[in-house]
Amino acid sequence: MTIDPYFEVGYHVDRYYELEEDFLKVMKYMPLEMNNTPDTRERATSTYLADLLIRIGSNIDITFRKMILSNFSHIYDEKLSKINEKRKAQGKEPLSEINLNFEDYRRLNSESIWRVNGKLSDCKVTIIQTGEFLTPFEDWKEEKTPTWWSSYNHVKHHAEFDKANLNNVIQALAALLLLICINKHSIKLLNYGYLCIDPKFKRMVITNHRKESHHDIITKIFISPIQS
């Protein structure tokens, strides 16, 4: 499989780390122990959360797009071909490139990448502070767009800050974590303390003397259902 430089260098893990650290600042004022149900989290809104939701959503968008272009280009090529067939029938010039959207990303749910971990729509992320399970892509089972993604677009394009609630932000962050774990970067996961690996093997992994695999991935907020 082709590795996009974005994943090869580990920029996607860097971005997740920065976003999670910023979310931890929210927890000082809106602790999850006191906001331990979706209903209570939906009532917690702020412009800071709005900014955070936009940044998380943008990184999800980037990660999905790079996954498709590097390893599932047939999704992109098929969409481009259909658009250009329609444009040809209308007497218009063909396009050389197009944008992808969340409906295109949903097609990844049935790709072979999920053979080991199950479909993305089934993956449950655990919130450490409350023991809750989040299934951020569960709506894909019914071919629906997740609420947190719709909310991200409402905030980004229409400044509907009431959509930027604590529940949508933590769901979006959990969704980004799943993508980070799928496109794993062992060294960066180790650097940020996310990879639960025996310290005596850490040097061997970093120096490429030992292959890292099948370790739990735990951040400061979540336990991933996906092992490295």
| pTM of this structure | 0.92
Q: Report the share of the chain in percent with pLDDT over 90.
A: 79
pLDDT value for 168: 98
Domain that holds residue 60: 5-120+143-184
Residue 228 located in a structural domain: no
The kind and range of the H/E element at 66 are helix 47-71
Residue 153 located in a structural domain: yes
Total domains, the chain: 1
Residue 133 located in a structural domain: no
Q: Which letter does DSSP use for residue 116 in this model?
A: T
Residue 226 located in a structural domain: no
Residue 55 located in a structural domain: yes
Comparing C-alpha atoms, which of 62, 18, 25, 61 is closest to residue 46? 25
| Residue 225 dihedral angles phi and psi, to the nearest 5° | -80, -10
Residues 114-166 have pLDDT tens digits of 555 678 999 999 999 999 999 999 999 999 999 999 999 999 999 999 999 99
Residue 161 located in a structural domain: yes
